[in-house]
Structure 1
């Protein structure tokens, strides 16, 4: 824990103006920049949030200095009335920090957990999204090392786990606040159901779309303010519409991206002209050729397959698949796999990683021609169409049609020849 008593300055934690004769000698902000950096390396995350609210000098120093916070993973969940963030650090002394923001009428409840440290408070007259980015924004602005993974998930339904709010704080507020002209009962909330029911009743008027739109606007605005695109290795997002992803992706260092996972928010229907939303702009991203894994779920792709098939690990959805599409994927799979095997045997790759491609579809065009081309169709639940052995190797391309409750797909998988 960072001890503020180390510094002989009464400014920290106080707002009153001291007489001239009582001004301390050498206030902390007069220390050399190198010394301040050394100090901040020993500051836990909770104290960092506090220091930013002590004075503008601390806030400006923290926000404008690219401190090595050793952040590796970020997981953010957004609902109509909550934002939950889970931060993982590489440092052994700072493994993780959990931030829980819950809308409470026109106010916001905050709970922060870092190791054994735990704090909770009410932020009066603060919007949920503003409260979150006031704390988290400086991390986004200053992150210089590549994040191993960034996960952002939007959900249509509020959920309030018991550990995500402080029951004593909630009870103290419940006795002093009334909402929408209705006085609340003064009896303390008991058990698990009563606090959840209370929070749901307060936040029942809110829906996901306004919160998600505001969240992504603020997120993109902070990324735009950076001097360089933020480096992320794996980006995993669940979004309402393609624009939420695309606006963010254009502000990320795509050359650092190894994998992208994009999902449509379940339980939220938003279609254009009665058709499922399409995600095609992704192929136009600068640096898209560096992507090694791409999974798109819930959005259709109508872009030419040639723009996607360079990706070794690929899953996406189309409305209609044709025999030409299947043969094209087979040809590309065999070509790329031959190249990978050659590089591996020439010691230019550490391992010949198995490659997998999967295309979900609604309809098959010229199904009879497809069957004639690939051969006998077995009657199992998973219908294996064919195996194509790669010459002069023990590798075989297995093409199969798989039937799932959530859709049908063609999969292209490399297996060892039996």
Structure 2
């Protein structure tokens, strides 16, 4: 059952007539807290959102008691003029709800889909970021169980498809465009290209006010308003500035955080703040004591590689890798019982001509050089590979029987 009508945003235009409700605080709210908790334990997350809109007493009870739900994953896609989000319930990801917030001048188009059902509305004088956090604030503030995954993507351009909006809502706005001062055609829009062009033109003058900056500021404010750090097991975040990640990771329960995946969002122009990922402050926090996976793409880390070698699965980029770095990682892989894989991208190799003398004979294939180091009394062999086209060294474990017969193994 759709949760759209129970959200905080005011309804201006809608595709379906939604049932009204009275702000009554009936006898149910006179029940003891223990009874109320038992009742709430047997309702799903969508119903919980509905109950928040029944009366102030319900809203206060739900917010103050931080009731559990089956939410396991949140995917958020931030664009210059839109925010798209999908939330998943239960570990099988069988139930999901999609939210689409699109800027429409100074206003917002909202569409929500759940299964085969959908609702849409036009929200006047509210931009997509504010509309999004009006709705998602309750989710982020009240989440008590660990989220399996929180994924935040950032796109540098807008792309509107039929799943993102409701055609009837847009055409109803076309008919009343004089109210809002837009110069649009009175003929109803029909195909994808017309609608995409229409939305692009309306939002063109707001292109210098991208949503991303406001999104991250609001997101951090919501997390700061929690009574405790938000529990997330895996954080995947795509950002244009390292500061977005650094600010957010401080607000996550590090004892729950198992994996971090950071990548640089594509930008039409390079930003100075996006070239180097300075983790000097963060590595001193407990977050790096617990995580099992760290994947940093496109940003280059500025702290020594040895800082990360306690992490079982590691992928990072550096400006320069040295022979000493390679030997250090090799030793770590062989001696650490938890080390599983390392992948290091680089721009330059210091003293590259000494690699063969240091690691020994290289076993070539079409695009890589390989070195093999067998563990005594084990069927496992450490494989070090130098990729010629990606400027990358990888360190992985492989079974000895999988190594080519002609290869030199140390």
Shorter-normalised TM range: 0.7 to 0.9
Q: Deviations over 1:222-253 (max 9, x none)?
A: 11111111111111000111110111100101
Q: Given that residues 371 and 377 in structure 1 are in contact (C-alpha distance below 8 angstroms), is that contact kept between their aligned partners in structure 2?
A: yes
* Structure 1 stretches of at least 4 aligned residues deviating more than 6 Å after TM superposition: 91-94
* TM-score with structure 2 setting the length: 0.86
Note if contact 2:79-2:210 (Cα within 8 Å) is conserved in structure 1.
Answer: no
Residue 318 and residue 203 in structure 1: after superposition, are their counterparts in 2 closer, same or farther (change >3 A)?
Answer: same
> 2:324 matched to which residue of 1?
324
Alignment of 1:368 with 2:376, yes or no, is no
Distance 1:259 1:210 in 2: 29
Residue 181 of structure 1: CA displacement?
4.8
The Cα shift of 1:50 comes to 5.1
Tell me the CA shift for residue 130 of structure 1. Answer: 1.0
CA distance in 1, matches of 2:345, 2:221: 35
Could you tell me which residue of structure 2 aligns to residue 308 of structure 1?
A: 308
Match of 2:116 in 1: 116
Q: Secondary structure at the match of 2:145?
A: coil
- Report the equivalent of 2:9: none
Q: Does the C-alpha gap of structure 1 residues 287 and 328 become closer, same or farther in structure 2, counting only changes over 3 Å?
A: same
Q: Within 1, Cα distance between the matches of 2:209 and 2:278?
A: 19
8 Å contact from structure 1 (residues 382, 400) kept in 2: no
Other-structure match for 1:190: 190
Residues 85-124 of structure 1, C-alpha deviation per residue, up to 9 Å, x if partnerless? 1111118897111111111111111111222332111111
Relative distance call for 1:26 and 1:75 in structure 2 (3 A) is closer
From 355, 380, 383, give the equivalent of 1:398. 383
1-structure distance, mates of 2:208, 2:160: 15
For residue 417 of structure 1, what is the aligned residue in structure 2?
Answer: 400
Partner of 2:15: none
Pair 53,44 (structure 1): closer, same or farther in 2 beyond 3 Å: same
CA drift of 1:271 comes to 3.5
Q: Which range moved further: 285-294 or 146-155? A: 285-294
When residues 162 and 39 of structure 1 are mapped into structure 2, their CA distance, relative to the original with a 3 A threshold, is: farther
Structure 1 residue 298 displacement after superposition: 1.2
Q: C-alpha offsets along residues 254-311 of structure 1, whole Å, 9 cap, x if unaligned?
A: 11111110000013444338x8222324422323111111000011012011111111
Question: Given that residues 380 and 398 in structure 2 are in contact (C-alpha distance below 8 angstroms), is that contact kept between their aligned partners in structure 1?
Answer: yes
Judging changes above 3 Å, is the alpha-carbon distance between structure 1 residues 100 and 2 closer, same or farther for their aligned structure 2 residues? Answer: closer
Structure 1 residues 125, 287: CA separation in 2 closer, same or farther (over 3 Å shift)? same
| Unaligned residue ranges in structure 1 (runs of 5+) | 4-10, 16-23, 341-353
Whole-angstrom distance in 2 between the partners of 1:392 and 1:167 = 67
CA deviations on 1:39-82 (whole Å, 9 max, x unpaired) are: 55566656655554555444333333312221001101100111
Question: Following the alignment from structure 1 to structure 2, what is the Cα–Cα distance between the partners of residues 35 and 132?
Answer: 32
Equivalences, count: 385
The answer to whether the aligner puts 1:280 opposite 2:265 as a matched pair is: no
TM-superposed deviation, 1:184: 1.0
Deviates more, 1:392-401 or 1:85-94: 85-94
Give the match for residue 260 of structure 1: 260
The aligned runs of 1:96-245 (5 Å cut-off) are 96-178=96-178, 181-207=181-207, 210-245=210-245
Q: Matched residues in 2 for 1:199 and 1:189: separation?
A: 11
Structure 1 residues 414 and 178: CA distance shift in structure 2, 3 A:
farther
Give the alignment of 1:41-80 within 5 angstroms.
48-49=48-49, 51-53=51-53, 55-80=55-80
Q: Distance in 1 between matches of 2:309 and 2:208?
A: 35
1:355 CA displacement: 1.3
Greater mean deviation of Cα atoms: 322-331 or 280-289: 280-289
Q: In the superposition, relative to structure 1, how do residues 411 and 2 fare at CA in structure 2: closer, same or farther (>3 Å)? A: closer
Q: In structure 2, what is the Cα distance between the partners aligned to 1:368 and 1:92?
A: 51
Task: Flag the 1:374–1:93 CA change in 2: closer, same or farther, 3 A.
Answer: closer
Superposition deviation, residue 414 in structure 1: 0.6
CA distance in 2, matches of 1:91, 1:397: 35
CA contact (8 A) 2:105 2:206 kept: no
Q: Cα offset for 1:156?
A: 0.7
1:78-89 equivalences under 5 Å are 78-89=78-89
Quick check: 106-115 or 50-59, which moved more?
50-59
TM score, norm. by length of structure 1: 0.84
Give the RMSD, CA atoms, in angstroms: 2.8
Q: Secondary structure at the match of 2:186?
A: coil
- Aligned-partner Cα distance in 1 for 2:210–2:87: 25
User: In 2, distance between residues paired with 1:162 and 1:379?
Assistant: 50
